[in-house]
Structure 1
Amino acid sequence: MRHFITVNQLSAEEIFLLIKTAESYQETNFQINQQLFAANLFFEPSTRTKSSFVVAEKKLGLEVLDFHAETSSTEKGESLYDTAKTFESIGADMLVVRHQSDTWMDELDSNIKIPIINAGAGKEEHPTQCLLDLLTIYQEYGRFDGLNVLISGDIKHSRVAHSNAFALKKLGAKVFISAAPGFEDNTLGFPHISMDDAIKFCDVVMLLRVQHERHKHTLETMEYLENYGLTKEREKQMKKHAIILHPAPVNRGVEIDSDLVECDRSRIFKQMSNGVFIRMAIITKILTEWGILNENSIEKCQTVIAN
């Protein structure tokens, strides 16, 4: 793997290996026994993804190089490529990049000589979020084959939807899409279904944030929740063991009733916890494949005591 840009580049076997590696990191502390530097180049606001990468890197023992787009030379007109090349030149061993462009990786792919991890590309890809979602589903059901998964919300603008739909299909799940008028993306090729119909038979209900900043008109939030969101009435119709996912940030009272964010079905905060460990797995995989790490570079520390 040259760079980790999309889940589509992974086989089903590689996805399962990353899931198993992440689970091992949940059970046991591991650290890299050499000095390595990670640069997290986030050009869009981020709480969960950026913080999750920082925690993952520090758990592994990496040095994290500080970067804030609003106080960097990008404010003077520096390009993404020159920013990335700067961090490579001063000694970064890997880059984690989030950028508003759908195709920012095309600018970097052939000329950057250290591994790059995609932490979000416009509205096209969010592969690490996809993998933490897959880890969460796998921990719940122990399989993907035959599961019915609903992805509901702002499909048109969601990189999460794009990454998850195809990965779930590859692993054997049946994927259904639900979206309000104007939020559809018919290029995905998955069956569209109403929330009211899907809620009765789906094993996983994956809600997506309504991305108000990408819409010209502000939605009436109450109207959206009643017509297209997960209300308490709809939650009561879910299958007994069905779960709720959401990549967050959550618009409480818009795509989901606020009381359901932390209900028994919700795995929203578990997803966040899982994000640290799946990103640890991705980091060690790509550093190993580049030859930056070898089998003796990762040492087991004290065992984590499960609650």
Structure 2
Amino acid sequence: MSRSLLSIEELGTAGVQRILDLADTMAEVNRRPNPKVPALRGKTVCSVFFEDSTRTRLSFETAAKRLSADTMTFAVSQSSLNKGESLRDTIETIAAMGVDAFVIRHKSTGAPWLVDGWTNAAVINAGDGWHSHPTQGLLDTYTVRTALNRPDGFDGLRVAIVGDIKHSRVARSTTAAFTALGADVTWVAPRTLLPPVVHEHVENDIDAVLDRDGGVDVLYMLRMQQERMNEALVPNLREYTARFGLTPERAARLAPHTLVMHPGPMNRGVEVAVDPAELPGALITQQVTNGIAVRMAVLFDLLSAESPEQSLTEGPTT
């Protein structure tokens, strides 16, 4: 068991299964009238986000509080980084205040690995550049696992991840997590939105993927990462929607069993041109809900010396 969570690849298949099994227990905690347990009382979790975030940051803070950990939030705009302090000095200063875990998001690929070398605290990668977002991959696989009641793995499951894969750390981590559990993952994107090193299965035609025998079991629509683009990689968003978006016509052709997912925030009318609430297989809000249970599982896995049976069955804290 590692003291940090930096990528799905480093976690491995056994680690993914361990976290997902633990998330079942955390989901039960979240269903209680008072969803709070003393499992991490006395621990301190610090969020250090160098990029904007709503879902991930609030999800981690909620997860830490439900486990009774103390929380700290580092405000980059109000910090000594604006006076020239280095990232290393910042991390070492915060660590000296008694931090047990850092949750870090940074625009630079590899930044969480650097932080991991500067502190004895656990480090959780909440997104680094275009590279990795392991807890998103975990919550996505957990959402499918619970929706399909498949706790033993995803052998034979067909997953299509569609859209701006080039700029998407979500695509990389979610692909790694699904693949670790045995799913067959296909990337679907225009060639201009594929990374230099591509996944084993790549398609440039979403309709061919949807129309193949049996369709797909999971259709995962990625957000167009317009803030990360430095050049025009698609002619215009209208044409992108026509060629790769989930339009009403494509939604009508989905197999009845197809699950539809999106990491958020959604560009309505671009990658998703229908109301997700009208799709019977949509799991988008469930992904957000499950994010709390999965991040509780990650924090518990890294910071607790006790078993779930010892620390999660006690009465809730006051």
Task: State the TM-score, normalizing by the size of structure 2.
Answer: 0.89
Partner of 1:105: 112
- Paired residues in the alignment total 299
The question of whether the paired residues in 1 share the 8 Å contact of 2:40 and 2:303 is answered with: no
The question of whether the paired residues in 2 share the 8 Å contact of 1:154 and 1:184 is answered with: yes
Greater shift in the superposed pair: 219-228 or 99-108 = 219-228
Supply the distance in 2 between the matched residues of 1:60 and 1:279 (Cα, whole angstroms): 10
Q: Does 1:246 align with 2:274?
A: no
Residues 37/79 of structure 1: CA separation in 2 closer, same or farther (3 Å cut): same
Supply the distance in 1 between the matched residues of 2:40 and 2:126 (Cα, whole angstroms): 25
* Pairing partner for 1:196 from 197, 200, 207: 207
Q: Does 1:300 align with 2:313?
A: yes
Partner of 2:21: 20
* Pairing partner for 2:221 from 197, 207, 212: 207
Which residues of structure 2 form unaligned runs of 5+? Answer: 30-34
Task: Measure how far apart 1:167 and its partner are.
Answer: 2.2
Deviations 1:219-273 (A, max 9, x none): 6322211111111111111111111111101000000114135632210110000
Tell me, what secondary structure is at the counterpart of 2:193? coil
Deviations 1:90-129 (A, max 9, x none): 1111110000001112422322111110000100000000
The question of whether the paired residues in 2 share the 8 Å contact of 1:199 and 1:235 is answered with: no
* Pairing partner for 1:147 from 157, 161, 186: 157
Task: State the TM-score, normalizing by the size of structure 1.
Answer: 0.92
Supply the distance in 2 between the matched residues of 1:221 and 1:188 (Cα, whole angstroms): 23
Partner of 2:294: 278
The question of whether the paired residues in 1 share the 8 Å contact of 2:105 and 2:127 is answered with: yes
Amino acid at match of 1:199: L
Supply the distance in 1 between the matched residues of 2:164 and 2:5 (Cα, whole angstroms): 25
* Pairing partner for 2:251 from 232, 235, 239: 235
Task: Measure how far apart 1:17 and its partner are.
Answer: 1.9
Amino acid at match of 2:145: Y
The question of whether the paired residues in 2 share the 8 Å contact of 1:34 and 1:297 is answered with: no
The question of whether the paired residues in 2 share the 8 Å contact of 1:3 and 1:117 is answered with: yes
Task: Measure how far apart 1:198 and its partner are.
Answer: 1.4
The question of whether the paired residues in 2 share the 8 Å contact of 1:33 and 1:297 is answered with: no
Greater shift in the superposed pair: 218-227 or 85-94 = 218-227
Counterparts of 1:1-307 in structure 2, within 5 Å, are: 1-28=2-29, 29=35, 30-32=37-39, 34-141=41-148, 142=150, 143-193=153-203, 194-200=205-211, 201-215=215-229, 216-217=231-232, 220-260=236-276, 263-288=279-304, 293-295=305-307, 298-301=311-314
Task: Measure how far apart 1:301 and its partner are.
Answer: 4.7
Tell me, what secondary structure is at the counterpart of 2:117? coil
Supply the distance in 1 between the matched residues of 2:41 and 2:273 (Cα, whole angstroms): 47
Supply the distance in 2 between the matched residues of 1:189 and 1:299 (Cα, whole angstroms): 40
Tell me, what secondary structure is at the counterpart of 2:166? helix
Greater shift in the superposed pair: 107-116 or 210-219 = 210-219
Amino acid at match of 2:224: V
Which residues of structure 1 form unaligned runs of 5+? Answer: none
The question of whether the paired residues in 1 share the 8 Å contact of 2:185 and 2:201 is answered with: yes
Task: Measure how far apart 1:162 and its partner are.
Answer: 0.9
